[in-house]
Copies of this chain bind each other. A is one copy, B any other.
């Protein structure tokens, strides 16, 4: 049997009115009270949103959008396009930058539940997923496995990794490295590494994998790349994101390594920012318009009908954009 508001009140040792006030985010509630109520909600897997909705008979027309940080141009462009699509459908967006901080992401989900958003688009990198499945809200995910019930939209990471490596090979590279973020089990972005490895295998070449964590500062990444290029003398590098590719171009310049004669470089993402301001970079472009359209359309389907049948995965094709670096 579904837990009720009264059950939460009983377990938390507070009145039903207090639970209702916590759910509706009234001011002047102590942190202690809120914690007690949220703990009880969690323990009972109580889903305030559906009740609140059925009581109030309305949607909030608000959608929570969680990404790591829009200072990254890829997320900046994705969020900007999601906002445009949501606005066209009469929705507004609560933007959450999780800043690669699991606690901040958890707090946000709690706040979004309390504020009764109609659904969530989730694309952050943290691993805590319990709160997503317990939130009781319609959710779609970008590039990240959350649970069997939450559809994932992603670009064809495997094909992109394969095609990036092929482009390096075809422009003459034979000693080809990959600069990648940390690869987590079940993450669709691992496909970039797998595509790279499979292409090299096909050519009988050895993979060289260097992990540069996503959250590493550009200054430290710069130092790390300098040390790698000095030590290994690669003639080709596939960077699993464009910003790392731009750093690699800068480091090559500092080390007087000629790009593309002595070092070929291919990135991944292909935002309009990079394509407009760094047209020299060869990169695998994700279809940002299609990705954002699909994320919004799937979420609105789920909001209209929580039980509607959706695929587990939606994989969108990528394309190679040729600059001069490979």
A residues in contact (CB < 8 Å) with B: 24-27, 57-62, 69-71, 73, 76-77, 79-80, 83-84, 87, 92-97, 99, 104, 107-108, 111-112, 115, 218-219, 243, 246-247, 250, 271-273, 276-277, 279
A58/B246 in contact, CB under 8 A = no
> Is A84's CB under 8 angstroms from B99's CB?
yes
Measured in the bound complex, the distance between the Cα atoms of B28 and A59 in whole Å is 10
Bound-state CA distance A94–B73 (Å) is: 19
Q: Please judge, given known A-B contacts A76-B73, A80-B71, whether A247 and B277 are in contact too, CB under 8 Å.
A: yes
A250/B279 in contact, CB under 8 A = yes
Whole-angstrom distance between the alpha carbons of A219 and B276 in the complex? 8
CA distance A44 to B84 in the complex (A): 31
How many copies of this protein are present in the complex?
2
Residue in chain B with minimal CB distance to A88: B104
Given pairs A26-B58, A92-B112, 18 additional interface contacts (CB within 8 A) = A25-B58, A25-B60, A26-B57, A60-B115, A62-B115, A70-B76, A70-B79, A71-B76, A71-B271, A71-B272, A71-B273, A73-B273, A84-B99, A93-B94, A93-B95, A219-B276, A246-B277, A247-B277
Instruction: Take A25-B60, A25-B61 as given contacts and tell me if A250 and B272 are in contact as well, using a CB distance cutoff of 8 Å.
Output: no
The complex places the Cα of A61 from the Cα of B277 at a distance, in Å, of 38
Whether A87 contacts B104 by the Cβ 8 Å rule is yes
Partner of A277, one of B77, B111, B243: B243
Complex CA gap A112/B77 in Å reads: 23
A309: shortest Cβ distance to chain B, in Å?
Answer: 24
The smallest beta-carbon distance between A279 and chain B, in angstroms, is: 7
Interface centre among A69, A250, A276 (most CB of B within 10 A): A276
Chain B residues with CB under 8 Å of A97's CB are 80, 83-84
A203 vs B80: C-alpha distance in the bound complex, in angstroms? 44
A218 / chain B contacts, CB cutoff of 8 Å: 276-277
| Residues from chain B with Cβ under 8 Å of A76 in the complex | 70-71, 73, 76
A250 to B281, CA, bound (A): 13
Identify which of A79, A92, A246 gathers the most chain B CB atoms within 10 Å of its CB: A92
Show 7 A/B contacts (Cβ-Cβ < 8 Å), sorted by A: A70-B76, A71-B77, A71-B273, A73-B73, A73-B76, A218-B277, A250-B277
Chain B residues near A95: list those with CB within 8 A: 79, 83, 93-95
> Given A92-B96, A243-B277, A80–B70 Cβ distance below 8 Å?
yes
Alpha-carbon distance A97/B79, docked complex (angstroms):
10
- Residues of B contacting A112 with CB < 8 Å? 92
| CB-based closest 8 A-B pairs | A218-B276, A76-B76, A95-B95, A71-B80, A26-B58, A246-B277, A70-B76, A71-B77
In the complex, A147 Cα to B18 Cα: how many Å? 41
Q: Which among A76, A115, A271 has the highest number of chain B CB atoms within 10 Å?
A: A76
Contact status B94-A92, CB under 8 Å: yes
Q: What is the bound-complex CA distance between A247 and B273, given in angstroms?
A: 11
In angstroms, Cα B112 to Cα A24, docked, is 18
Closest to A111 in B: B92
